[in-house]
């Protein structure tokens, strides 16, 4: 119970810091909302079959319904990708805060208290998950305003995936930042890892539009499987191979990153 108590103590402290400047929650949403407003309408011109989902067969041969079906398919394709993009950037960049705290002596002051070393990380991660949940819900609501139509259960599944992504990536981000202890080193390191993952995950465009070699390389990105599973859920498909792969990859990634981050964090704060 000491670990749980310590985690909640750190979580409350971090949450108070976030509430003092809630504008950052909205600012972090600006980029995905701009993509939603300015990029998603371009996808409505793509064939529904390229965007996936069972609607492709229903839309064929229905001139009046094809356009509306294409709009619905476009947002069912794009919003899950934006949610993962939000989770990627929102979770990996949290490490900058702990570098600032380390430089200000906050981490050192925690070390001389009886607070669990692991709770210093887990409390922060819990705060990051909560912030991302708020941002994800707001993004989904904006998507609904622009034409997204998805089952409520699919939205809950999507949020579950975001939680797993946030827990894993935030843990690794804090641990990595505590190792490098420099924004100048941390920033290019993040960009060199996150940008290829974004490009290879099919967030913006269907990977089926690319050549075979690109589709083959894209299989190394775990987020491709997670995004595909989320898109299946948004189309109302919950029990198939794609969904099982996405769930397995999401849990595996979260557990592996949490284990790695915990080991590094505890060792650095020993």
Residue 254 lies in a domain: yes
Six-digit token string for 243? 């969904």
Please answer whether residues 120 and 178 qualify as being in contact, where contact means their C-beta atoms are separated by less than 8 angstroms. Answer: no
Six-digit token string for 77? 């394709």
C-alpha dihedral, 62 to 65 to 68 to 71, nearest 10°: -20
Residue 54 dihedral angles phi and psi, to the nearest 5°? -75, -10
> Confidence band (pLDDT; 50, 70, 90) for 63?
very low
Longest dimension (CA), the chain: 70
User: Which of 22-31, 101-110, 132-141 is least confident?
Assistant: 22-31
Residue 63 lies in a domain: no
pLDDT at 61 over 60: no
Q: Which domain covers residue 123, as residue numbers?
A: 2-25+78-268
Sign for the CA dihedral angle at 60, 240, 35, 140 comes to positive
Instruction: Kindly report the pTM of this predicted structure.
Output: 0.86
Residue 69 lies in a domain: no
Residue 6 lies in a domain: yes
Residue 248 lies in a domain: yes
Residue 52 lies in a domain: no
> Confidence band (pLDDT; 50, 70, 90) for 241?
very high
Residue 46 lies in a domain: no
Per residue in 140-181, pLDDT (tens digit) is 999 998 888 889 999 999 999 999 999 999 999 999 998 898
The DSSP element (H or E) to which 226 belongs, if any, is helix 222-234
Split into its structural domains, the chain has a count of: 1
Residue 51 lies in a domain: no
Per residue in 67-126, pLDDT (tens digit) is 444 777 888 888 999 999 999 988 999 999 899 888 888 888 877 777 788 888 899 999
């Amino acid at each position: 119970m000491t670990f749980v108590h310590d985690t909640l103590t750190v979580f409350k402290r971090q949450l108070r810091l976030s509430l003092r400047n809630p504008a950052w929650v909205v600012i972090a949403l600006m980029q995905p909302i701009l993509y939603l407003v300015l990029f998603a309408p371009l996808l409505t011109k793509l064939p529904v079959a390229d965007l996936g989902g069972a609607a492709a067969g229903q839309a064929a041969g229905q001139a009046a319904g094809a356009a509306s079906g294409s709009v619905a398919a476009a947002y069912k394709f794009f919003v899950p990708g934006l949610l993962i993009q939000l989770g990627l950037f929102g979770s990996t960049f949290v490490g900058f805060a702990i570098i600032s705290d380390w430089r200000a002596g906050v981490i050192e002051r925690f070390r001389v208290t009886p607070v669990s070393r692991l709770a210093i990380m887990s409390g922060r991660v819990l705060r990051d998950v909560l912030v991302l949940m708020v941002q994800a819900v707001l993004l989904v609501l904006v998507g609904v305003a622009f034409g997204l139509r998805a089952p409520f259960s699919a939205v809950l599944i999507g949020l579950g995936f975001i939680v797993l992504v946030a827990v894993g990536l935030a843990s690794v981000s804090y641990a990595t930042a505590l190792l490098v202890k420099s924004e100048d080193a941390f920033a290019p390191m993040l960009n060199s890892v996150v940008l290829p993952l974004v490009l290879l995950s099919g967030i913006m465009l269907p990977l089926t539009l690319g050549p075979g070699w690109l589709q083959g390389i894209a299989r190394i990105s775990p987020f491709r499987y997670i995004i595909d599973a989320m898109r299946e859920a948004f189309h109302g498909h919950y029990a198939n191979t794609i969904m099982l792969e996405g769930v397995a990859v999401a849990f595996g990634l979260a557990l592996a990153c949490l284990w790695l981050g915990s080991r590094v964090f505890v060792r650095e704060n020993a």
